[in-house]
C-alpha cells in the first residue's frame, strides 16, 4: 500500500522535481552524502528534550549530547571540528535553558502530562478517489490532561517569525498528525485535541575572542534564562472538524496529483522554491544536470522515508512514572 508522510506530501506540493529526486530516483530517492550540522543538531535537541521528560538529569543529558556530536563527527558531518564543538556547546546551553524554562512540565507536575515520545503511527485509510493509502509518521510528544489529548511538535530554529502565531495557522505538519490520529482512533474528535507548537530559538550569541567553550556554554544558558520570551515560543491551538475535513480533501487531491504526475513522468520544477527556505540541496542537479561531479555529492536512500528511523511498527517511548 502506498505510504505518505507529511514531509513527502509537503515536498511534492513545494516542487515536483524535488519530490522525484528525494523519493523516487534510483528506487527510494537520493540525499546529500554528508549530513548537515543543522539536521544533526535538530535531531540531538529532540532527543535531549525527550530524555528530560523521561526523568534523566541534565548532567546525564549533557553527556549524551556530547557523545551524539562525537558520533556525528565520526560519521562525516559537513562541518569543521571547531564549528561542531561550538554547535555542541550552544546546544547544551539551549537544553539547559529549556530545562529551566519548563521545570514543572518536565517533572510531570503541570496540568498537561506528556506520556509518549517519538510516537509512531501507521494508519491505513480508504478514501474517496484515491482508495487505499497509508499515513505514516512520528509525533514528537503526546500529552494528556483532564480534558484534552495534546499532540506536540518541537522545532529548533535560527529565527522565529514576528508573525509566528499567524504562520502556524496553516502549518501542515500538525494537521497531518491530527488527521492521522482521528483516523486511527475514530472516537477521537477534533474538539478533544490540542496542537502544541513548541518552538526553540537557537542561541543568538557566538563565542567571544579568547572565550573558552565552557564559558560560552554557561553564557548561553544565562542568556536563555535572561530572555525566555526571545528564545521560547509556544502556542496551543485547536482545530475544528471542518478544518480537518478541509485538510483531508487537500491531501486527497495532492495524492491524486502525485499519481498522475508519476504516471505521466512529468516532473516540472518550481523555481521560486529553490531558495525559499534556504538553498535547496538539489539546486546543483537542477542547475547543471545529473553529471558525475554533481551526483558524487549524493547517495542513494535505503527507504523512501528514512527519517522514520526504525519504522512505524514499533512503540513510542513511554514515561512510566
Q: Any idea which residue has 548561553 for its cell?
A: 220
Averaged pLDDT for residues 34-59: 93
306 in helix, strand or coil?
Answer: helix
Position 316 confidence tier, pLDDT thresholds 50, 70, 90:
low
The tens digit of pLDDT for each residue in 203-246 reads: 889 999 999 998 999 999 999 999 998 999 899 999 999 999 99
Nearest to 135 by CA among 82, 92, 97, 173: 173
Residue found under cell 522515508: 305
Instruction: Tally helices (H) and strands (E) across the chain.
Output: 13, 9
Beta pairing partners, 117: 141, 317
Mean pLDDT of the chain, nearest integer? 90
Which of the four CATH numbers 3.30.70, 3.40.50, 1.10.3470, 3.90.320 does domain 3-318 have? Answer: 3.90.320
Burial of 89 by CB count in 10 Å (0-12 exposed, 13-18 middle, 19+ buried)? buried
What separation in angstroms does the CA of 10 have from each of 13, 59, 184? 5, 38, 21
* 140 phi/psi in degrees, rounded to 5: -55, -55
Q: What is the pLDDT of residues 196-207, one digit of tens each?
A: 999 999 888 999
Amino acid at each position: 500500500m502506498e505510504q505518505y508522510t507529511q514531509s513527502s506530501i509537503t515536498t511534492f506540493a513545494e516542487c515536483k522535481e524535488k519530490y522525484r529526486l528525494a523519493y523516487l530516483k534510483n528506487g527510494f530517492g537520493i540525499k546529500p552524502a554528508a549530513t548537515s550540522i543543522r539536521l544533526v543538531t535538530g535531531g540531538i535537541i529532540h532527543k535531549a528534550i525527550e530524555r528530560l521528560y523521561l526523568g534523566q538529569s541534565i548532567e546525564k543529558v549533557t553527556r549524551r549530547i556530547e557523545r551524539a556530536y562525537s558520533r556525528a563527527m565520526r560519521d562525516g558531518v559537513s562541518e569543521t571540528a571547531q564549528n561542531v564543538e561550538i554547535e555542541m556547546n550552544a546546544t547544551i546551553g539551549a537544553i539547559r535553558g529549556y530545562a529551566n524554562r519548563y521545570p514543572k512540565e518536565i517533572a510531570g507536575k503541570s496540568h498537561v502530562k506528556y506520556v509518549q515520545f517519538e510516537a509512531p503511527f501507521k494508519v491505513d485509510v480508504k478514501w474517496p478517489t484515491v482508495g487505499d493509502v497509508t499515513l505514516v509518521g512520528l509525533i514528537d510528544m503526546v500529552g494528556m490532561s483532564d480534558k484534552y489529548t495534546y499532540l506536540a511538535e518541537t522545532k529548533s530554529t535560527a529565527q522565529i517569525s514576528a508573525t509566528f502565531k499567524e504562520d502556524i495557522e496553516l502549518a501542515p505538519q500538525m494537521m497531518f498528525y491530527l488527521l492521522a490520529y482521528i483516523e486511527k482512533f475514530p472516537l477521537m474528535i477534533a474538539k478533544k485535541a490540542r496542537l502544541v507548537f513548541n518552538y526553540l530559538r537557537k542561541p543568538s550569541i557566538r563565542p567571544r575572542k579568547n572565550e573558552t567553550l565552557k564559558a560560552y556554554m554557561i553564557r548561553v544558558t544565562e542568556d536563555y534564562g535572561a530572555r525566555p520570551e526571545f528564545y521560547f515560543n509556544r502556542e496551543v491551538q485547536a482545530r475544528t472538524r471542518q478544518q480537518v475535513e478541509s485538510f483531508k480533501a487537500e491531501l486527497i487531491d495532492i495524492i491524486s496529483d502525485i499519481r498522475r504526475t508519476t504516471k505521466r513522468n512529468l516532473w516540472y520544477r518550481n523555481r521560486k522554491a529553490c531558495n525559499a527556505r534556504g538553498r535547496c540541496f538539489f539546486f546543483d542537479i537542477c542547475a547543471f544536470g545529473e553529471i558525475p561531479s554533481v551526483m558524487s555529492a549524493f547517495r542513494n536512500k535505503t527507504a523512501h522515508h528514512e527519517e522514520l528511523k526504525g519504522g512505524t511498527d514499533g512503540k513510542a517511548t513511554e514515561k512510566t512514572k
